[in-house]
């Protein structure tokens, strides 16, 4: 458009327009934006940092860690302090966080299942000493655990007589935020309510909360054999779980595995099959039946789609197994979790000895592990541990109890799941430098003031530049007069 009025033509008009557009965006957009984030952020990017040959990382990541830390990696583990060790040695327990309460539930003391629930208060990634909390109605070990809508559900497990079909729940008092007591989960309300039960007894099953209920997979039946069965309980309008409905079965019978929901896929990995620890990774499309098409990865074997997920009701659609996605080694009784879009497995046993390795994988949008399972020696557990309980709390993951040297242990480990990015990076066309990192509301307000001040200053400069540009002859005359005055003074000063 400016080319219509520019006597020097379209090319020069386009060049000037592009230049001034870039200047205005930088002066009134990018620079004030950077001023804000310089105040509130730990680091600030200047330019486009596509690749950086110079990286400096904070010591909190560990002195031996790569810099920058690979995606999905965690900070090296720390042993929990002696004053927060479990009050008694436990293995095969479950762990959860409800509000500020960290729970270690049931488990085995090495001889028999127990009914104790230990509770600790956690804040800012640090938890205090354990104390006894609400006891379970009966002793349970090797039970599945899922948290849905602020309520923890303990499903099945081994009781004094073997595998059980019970489903118990615990939540927080809405008025005091204190823990309630454990009680059986119910189907329905009022006098017509009945106890929610599994269709069959299960110990060592895997559980995961989904958007509208919980899914249970695998585990050992009453005879101790690993199972392929998968069930789902859907929450009703009153907030109670309904009867468990059968879903498409696993392709590989397994117990003591980790199950996780990531995106629209369910993952079951590791665990023990009829022959011992396994490296098998099983993946299922999760959603409605229409999602079944194309859900199996290339080279994968898959079960037939099931009508269980139909009519708009979410459920397991189709399981698949791809050998290329299997774990690097067999792992039974390992600690597993999902965080920040990554799948993790730590410790466990390979059938010969307990292991220290931590592996993680990053599924893509298609449910494929394109880069496989990753590993860093620096992030391995300090010692091998089996049948421990895992809980993610904020940016930290805790591995609690478990068997060490063949006997239940009291200790545990903590790792940070969010390694810090480099505080200084130098690239070919960009730079990362430290920021002020002023937190809270004060930091927000100071950031706004910094952005407004820089933006206002830049606007004044742009106005001045515009005035000079539109008064070039006047400014040129002023400049000639100043230069003449300086030249006239020069002989006198000499």
Percent of the chain with pLDDT over 90: 70
- Interval 441-454 mean pLDDT: 96
Cα gap 473→7, rounded to integer Å: 18
**β-strand partners of 121:** 101
Does the pLDDT value for residue 346 go beyond 60?
Answer: yes
CA distance 108 to 140: 8
Residue 341 predicted with pLDDT over 50: yes
Rounded-to-integer distance, Cα 20 and Cα 462, Å: 10
Question: Is pLDDT of 419 > 60?
Answer: yes
360, pLDDT greater than 50: yes
Distance CA 144, CA 106 (A): 11
The predicted structure's pLDDT at residue 289? 54
Residue 441 banded pLDDT, cuts 50, 70, 90: very high
How large is the average pLDDT for residues 323-348?
Answer: 95
Pair 197, 166: CB distance under 8 Å: yes
- For residue 167, pLDDT over 50 is answered with yes
Predicted confidence at residue 494, as pLDDT, reads 58
| Tokens read off for 108 | 């085995």
What is the residue whose two structure tokens read 């545990």?
412
| pLDDT for 443 beyond 70 | yes
* Euclidean distance between CA atoms 125 and 398, whole angstroms: 10
pLDDT tens for 252-273 read 999 999 999 998 899 999 999 9
Q: Residue 406 class from Cβ within 10 Å (0-12 exposed, 13-18 middle, 19+ buried)?
A: exposed
What was the pLDDT predicted at 292?
45
Instruction: Give residue 309's pLDDT.
Output: 47
What distance in Å separates the CA atoms of residue 494 and residue 489, rounded to the nearest whole number? 9
Inform me whether the pLDDT recorded for 125 exceeds 80: no
pLDDT of residue 304: 55
Do the strands 101-105 and 144-148 form a parallel or antiparallel pair, or are they unpaired?
unpaired
Distance CA 163, CA 201 (A): 5
pLDDT (0 to 100) of residue 466: 85
> What is the end-to-end Cα distance of the chain in Å, rounded?
55
pLDDT value at residue 236 = 86
pLDDT at residue number 311: 47
Tell me: pLDDT of 493 over 70.
Answer: no
Residues in CB range of 200: below 8 A, 6 or more apart? 165, 221, 222, 227, 229
Instruction: Note the pLDDT tens digit of each residue in 218-240.
Output: 999 999 999 999 999 999 888 88
Among 15-29, 276-290, 369-383, the minimum mean pLDDT is found in 276-290
DSSP H/E element including 38? helix 31-40
Residue 188 Cα distances to 236, 237, 238, 242, angstroms:
8, 10, 8, 8
> What is the chain's mean pLDDT, rounded?
90
Q: Is the Cβ–Cβ distance between 319 and 308 less than 8 Å?
A: no
Given pLDDT bands bounded at 50, 70 and 90, which one contains residue 193? confident
The rounded distance, in Å, linking the Cα atoms of 434 and 447 is 15
For residue 84, pLDDT over 70 is answered with yes
Spatial distance between the Cα atoms of 447 and 35, rounded to a whole number of angstroms: 7
| pLDDT tens per residue, range 45-75 | 998 888 899 999 999 998 889 999 999 999 9
pLDDT tier at 204 (50, 70, 90 boundaries)? very high
Phi-psi region of 333 (alpha: psi -120 to 50; beta: other; left: phi over 0): left
Tokens of 144: 């599945």
- For Cα atoms 464, 465, 470, give the angle at the middle one, nearest 5 degrees: 100
Q: Please tell me the predicted confidence (pLDDT) of residue 370.
A: 87
- Other CB atoms within a 10 A radius of the CB of residue 132 amount to 11
Higher confidence at residue 296 or residue 161? Answer: 161
In this structure, the number of other CB atoms found within 10 A of the CB of residue 71 comes to 13
Segment 268-318, tens digit of pLDDT: 999 999 999 999 999 999 986 534 444 455 556 666 555 444 445 678 888
pLDDT score, position 489: 82
Q: What whole-number percentage of the chain has pLDDT above 70? A: 94
Helix/strand/coil for 378: helix
Instruction: State which H helix or E strand residue 187 sits in.
Output: strand 186-187
- pLDDT at position 492 is 66
The pLDDT of residue 301 is 66
């Amino acid at each position: 458009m400016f080319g219509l009025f520019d006597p020097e033509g379209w090319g020069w008009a386009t060049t000037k327009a592009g230049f001034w557009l870039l200047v205005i965006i930088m002066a009134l957009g990018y620079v004030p934006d950077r001023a804000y984030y310089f105040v509130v952020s730990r680091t600030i990017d200047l330019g486009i940092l596509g690749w950086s040959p110079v990286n400096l990382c904070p010591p909190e990541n560990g002195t031996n860690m790569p810099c920058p830390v690979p995606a999905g990696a965690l900070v090296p583990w720390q042993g929990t302090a002696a004053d927060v060790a479990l009050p008694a040695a436990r293995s095969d327990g479950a762990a959860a966080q409800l509000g500020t309460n960290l729970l270690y539930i049931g488990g085995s003391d090495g001889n028999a299942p127990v009914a104790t629930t230990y509770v600790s208060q956690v804040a800012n990634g640090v938890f205090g000493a354990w104390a006894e909390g609400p006891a379970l109605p009966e002793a349970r070990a090797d039970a599945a655990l899922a948290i849905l809508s602020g309520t923890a559900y303990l499903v099945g497990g081994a009781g004094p007589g073997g595998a059980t079909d019970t489903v118990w729940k615990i939540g927080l008092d809405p008025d005091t935020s204190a823990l309630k007591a454990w009680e059986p989960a119910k189907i329905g309300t009022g006098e017509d309510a009945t106890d929610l039960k599994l269709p069959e007894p299960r110990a060592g099953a895997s559980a995961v909360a989904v958007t509208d209920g919980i899914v249970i997979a695998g585990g050992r039946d009453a005879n101790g054999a690993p199972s392929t069965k998968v069930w789902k309980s859907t929450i009703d309008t009153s907030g109670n779980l309904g009867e468990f409905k059968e879903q498409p079965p696993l392709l590989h019978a397994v117990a003591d595995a980790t199950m996780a929901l990531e995106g629209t896929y369910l993952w079951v990995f590791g665990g023990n099959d009829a022959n011992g620890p396994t490296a098998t990774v099983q993946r299922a499309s999760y959603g409605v039946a229409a999602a079944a098409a194309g859900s199996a990865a290339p080279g994968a074997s898959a079960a037939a789609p099931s009508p269980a997920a139909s009519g708009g009701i979410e459920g397991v659609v189709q399981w698949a197994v791809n050998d290329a996605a299997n774990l690097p080694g067999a792992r039974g009784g390992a600690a597993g979790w999902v965080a920040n879009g990554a799948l993790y497995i730590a410790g466990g046993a390979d059938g010969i000895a307990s292991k220290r390795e931590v592996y993680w994988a990053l599924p893509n949008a298609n449910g494929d592990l394109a880069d496989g399972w990753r590993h860093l020696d620096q992030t391995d557990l300090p010692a091998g541990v089996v049948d421990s309980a895992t809980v993610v709390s904020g940016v930290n993951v805790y591995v609690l109890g478990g068997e060490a040297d063949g006997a239940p242990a009291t200790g545990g480990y903590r790792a940070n799941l969010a390694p810090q990015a480099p505080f200084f990076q130098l690239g070919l066309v960009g730079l990362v430098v430290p920021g002020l990192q002023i937190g809270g509301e004060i930091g927000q307000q100071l950031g706004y003031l910094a952005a407004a001040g820089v933006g206002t200053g830049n606007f004044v400069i742009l106005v001045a530049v515009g005035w000079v540009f539109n008064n070039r002859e006047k400014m040129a005359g002023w400049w000639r007069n100043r230069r003449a005055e300086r030249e006239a003074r020069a002989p006198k000063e000499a």
